[in-house]
C-alpha cells in the first residue's frame, strides 16, 4: 500500500522577521493544507529550507508537524544529508517523533558513486523501520540516482519503497519503471510533469505548487487516478504558467514570495537565498492572479 496517493505538499518553513522558525504560522499552513485536500505533508525538504536549518530546528519542525497533523494525513520527514551518519541520526529522531515515512535526498557535494549510494541508503534503511522515499534531484545535488541503482535498492532493501523523481528525464523514469515492474511508489518531483509521471505508473506528486494551490494540485492527481485523464491533463496545462513563475528563481524563493503576496506572512528566506527580483515578483503576481489566486500585497 502506497505511503500516499495524490498530492503531497513540500511545505515551506515560515520564519519570523528575525529569521527564527515561526511555528504558529507553520501550524496555520498545515491546517490550510489539510482543509484544501492535500494528501500528505512533506516537512523539512528543499522547499522547507532544510539545508539552513540547525539540527534542533529541523527536528523541532518535524515533531511539530507530526503532532499538529495528528494522523489526519501522512507526514513525511526530509532527513537526508550528505553525511550518512547525520542522515541516520535525523531519521531515527523522526521515527521516534512518529513520522509516517522519510524522504532522503542523494548526498549533495560529495557526489557519491552508484555503489556509494547503495551503501549510503542501505545503511540508513537498516537504522529505521519507516518506509523510505528516495529523492533524485541531480540539478541541485550534482549526484544522480541511476534507474539500475534505484531498482537494486528497491529489490534488496525492504523499507525503501518509493522515489521522488525530479531529474526531469522522462526517458530515465520510463527505464526505471520497466526495471522495477511495479515494485515502487513513484512520485513526480516536478510540478510541470505530474501527468507524464502518472502515465508511467506514478501515484502522485511531491509538490511546490500545492503550497499556493492545494485543491487544484490534488485534483490534477485525483482526476488522473479516477480515470479522467483528459481533465487531469487540462488542469496540468492550466497550471503551467504559474508553475513556471514558481521556478523562475531557485526554489523556494518564488513560492515563499507567492505566499507573502497572498497575505500568508511566511516571512523571509534564510541566506544565501535572497529576496526575489522585482521583475520576477511582478511576473509571479500576474501568474497568481491569472490562476485565480487572490493577491493581497
Instruction: Tell me, yes or no, if 164 is annotated catalytic.
Output: yes
Catalytic site residue from 135, 224, 256, 264: 135
The burial of 140, by beta-carbon neighbours within 10 Å (0-12 exposed, 13-18 middle, 19 or more buried), is given as middle
> What is 179-212 written as a DSSP string?
HHTT-SEEEES-GGGHHHHHHTT--EEEESGGGT
Instruction: Tell me, yes or no, if 135 is annotated catalytic.
Output: yes
Torsion sign (Cα): 232, 252, 19, 281: negative
- Which residues, listed in sequence order, are joined to residue 164 by a DSSP beta bridge? 135, 187
Cell of 290: 491569472
Enumerate the H helices of the chain as residue ranges.
Answer: 23-35, 55-69, 84-97, 114-127, 138-141, 147-156, 170-180, 194-199, 214-225, 229-238, 240-246, 253-261, 278-290
B/e letters for 259-278, b = 16+ CB within 10 Å, e = fewer, are bbbbebebbbbeeebeebee
Catalytic site residue from 25, 63, 68, 164: 164
Cell of 250: 531557485
Q: Is 161 helix (H, G, I), strand (E, B) or coil?
A: strand
Cα–Cα distance, 261 to 266 (Å, whole number): 10
Cα–Cα distance, 188 to 203 (Å, whole number): 8
Q: Which residues are catalytic?
A: 135, 164
Amino acid at each position: 500500500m502506497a505511503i500516499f496517493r495524490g498530492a503531497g505538499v513540500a511545505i515551506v518553513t515560515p520564519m519570523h522577521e528575525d529569521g527564527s522558525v515561526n511555528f504558529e504560522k507553520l501550524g496555520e499552513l498545515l491546517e490550510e493544507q489539510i482543509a484544501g485536500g492535500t494528501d500528505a505533508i512533506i516537512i523539512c525538504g528543499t522547499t522547507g529550507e532544510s539545508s539552513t536549518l540547525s539540527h534542533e530546528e529541523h527536528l523541532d519542525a518535524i515533531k511539530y508537524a507530526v503532532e499538529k497533523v495528528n494522523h489526519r494525513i501522512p507526514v513525511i520527514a526530509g532527513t537526508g544529508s550528505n553525511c550518512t551518519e547525520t542522515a541516520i541520526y535525523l531519521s531515527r529522531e523522526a521515527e521516534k517523533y512518529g513520522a509516517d515515512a522519510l524522504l532522503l535526498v542523494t548526498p549533495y557535494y560529495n557526489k557519491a558513486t552508484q555503489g556509494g549510494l547503495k551503501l549510503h541508503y542501505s545503511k540508513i534503511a537498516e537504522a529505521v523501520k519507516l518506509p523510505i522515499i528516495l529523492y533524485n534531484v541531480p540539478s541541485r545535488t550534482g549526484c544522480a540516482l541511476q534507474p539500475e541503482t534505484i531498482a537494486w535498492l528497491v529489490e534488496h532493501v525492504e523499507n525503501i519503497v518509493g522515489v521522488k523523481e525530479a531529474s526531469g528525464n522522462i526517458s530515465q523514469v520510463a527505464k526505471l519503471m520497466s526495471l522495477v515492474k511495479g515494485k515502487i511508489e513513484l512520485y513526480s518531483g516536478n510540478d510541470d510533469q505530474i501527468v507524464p509521471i502518472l502515465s508511467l505508473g506514478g501515484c502522485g506528486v511531491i509538490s511546490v505548487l500545492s503550497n499556493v494551490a492545494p485543491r487544484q494540485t490534488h485534483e490534477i492527481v485525483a482526476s488522473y487516478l479516477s480515470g479522467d485523464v483528459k481533465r487531469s491533463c487540462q488542469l496540468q496545462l492550466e497550471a503551467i504558467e504559474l508553475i513556471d513563475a514558481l521556478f523562475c528563481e531557485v526554489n523556494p524563493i518564488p513560492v515563499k514570495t507567492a505566499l507573502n503576496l497572498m497575505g500568508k506572512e511566511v516571512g523571509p528566506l534564510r541566506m544565501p537565498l535572497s529576496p526575489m527580483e522585482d521583475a520576477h515578483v511582478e511576473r509571479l503576481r500576474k501568474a497568481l492572479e491569472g490562476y485565480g489566486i487572490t493577491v493581497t500585497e
